């Protein structure tokens, strides 16, 4: 179970504390078990500092705390604080990764059988799509829906989302696409062939959580080969 430690203190020496944390990161490289650390300053009280440190489990957190470097940094932290820091140990019981959820919902919507959902709950009205299949970028929700419709008209397909990594206002998905070629695609008439493709999509999110921009990278050459479009060239 993911474990989070909440550390609160009061200090007027935040710059020195940041340098101390930089030292800890350097000294514990390859040994620390923390996976994520975040430091915040109270907007209503600049001396109130809160640090949130995430670990894979409580046991890993305890192993981290036993590192000699951690103890040394803690003593330095105490010296910089106006009063003794307080610690709150938290077992994570709910962890909603909102960007990842939006990405998975997007791919699920694209493969929906029947009419394509409107997608306005996922995509910004001015969405900007970069795709090497297209000579120009696709801009605007209506144009994006036309582009998705082209793929849906040419193939019955499903996405398998292998990984999603999110950071700030960006998320990147690695996916596998399996499809049946049922209609015209870039001038290639339906072949009925079973095809597959791997790729990655980078997403940029707007402040309200909607997708504002996408960058697609996929094995277009491999797809064209599976469709037989390269047969004459290979002879």
CATH of the domain at 42: 3.30.70.100
For residue 7, how far is the Cα from the chain centroid?
26
15 and 130 in a single domain? The answer is no
CA torsion through residues 94, 98, 104, 105, sign: positive
Q: What is the pLDDT of residues 58-103, one digit of tens each?
A: 999 888 888 888 888 888 888 989 988 898 999 988 877 889 999 9
Q: What percent of the chain has pLDDT over 70?
A: 98
The CATH number given to whatever domain includes residue 225 is 3.10.450.50
161 and 196 in a single domain? The answer is yes
106 and 16 in a single domain? The answer is no
48 and 123 in a single domain? The answer is no
Structural domain that includes position 47: 3-91
85 and 128 in a single domain? The answer is no
74 and 108 in a single domain? The answer is no
Contact 133, 199 (CB under 8 A): no
Q: How many domains does the chain have?
A: 2
Instruction: Give the ranges where 44-196 is alpha helix by DSSP (H).
Output: 58-65, 68-80, 98-110, 141-154
Q: What is the pLDDT of residues 170-225, one digit of tens each?
A: 999 999 999 999 999 999 999 999 999 999 999 999 989 999 999 999 999 999 99
Q: Of 43, 71, 91, which residue sits at a domain end?
A: 91
Return the exposure string of 52-61: e unless at least 16 CB atoms fall within 10 Å of the residue's CB, then b: ebbbeebebb
Q: What is the pLDDT of residues 96-154, one digit of tens each?
A: 788 999 999 999 999 999 899 999 999 999 999 999 888 899 999 999 999 999 999 99
Question: What pLDDT shows up at residue 2?
Answer: 87
Say how far apart CA 70 and CA 37 lie, in whole Å.
14
Question: What pLDDT shows up at residue 233?
Answer: 53
52 and 120 in a single domain? The answer is no
């Amino acid at each position: 179970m993911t474990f989070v430690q909440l550390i609160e203190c009061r200090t007027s020496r935040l710059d020195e504390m940041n340098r101390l944390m930089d030292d800890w990161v350097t000294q514990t490289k390859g040994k620390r078990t923390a996976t994520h650390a975040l430091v915040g300053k109270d907007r209503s009280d600049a001396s109130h500092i809160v640090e949130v440190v995430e670990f894979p489990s409580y046991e890993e957190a305890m192993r981290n705390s036993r590192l000699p470097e951690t103890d040394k940094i803690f003593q330095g932290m105490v010296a910089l604080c106006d009063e003794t820091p307080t610690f709150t140990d938290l077992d994570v019981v709910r962890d909603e990764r909102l960007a990842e959820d939006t990405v998975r919902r997007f791919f699920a919507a694209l493969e929906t059988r029947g009419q394509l959902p409107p997608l306005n709950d996922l995509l910004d009205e001015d969405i900007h799509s970069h795709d090497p299949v297209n000579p120009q970028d696709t801009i605007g929700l209506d144009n994006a829906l036309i582009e998705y419709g082209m793929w849906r008209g040419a193939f019955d397909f499903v996405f398998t989302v292998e990984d999603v990594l999110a950071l700030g206002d960006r998320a990147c998905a690695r996916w596998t696409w399996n499809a049946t070629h049922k209609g015209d695609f870039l001038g290639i008439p339906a072949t009925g062939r079973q095809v597959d493709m791997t790729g990655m999509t980078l997403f940029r999110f707007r402040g309200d959580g909607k997708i504002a921009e996408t960058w697609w990278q996929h094995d277009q050459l491999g797809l064209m080969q599976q469709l037989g479009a390269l047969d004459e060239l290979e002879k």
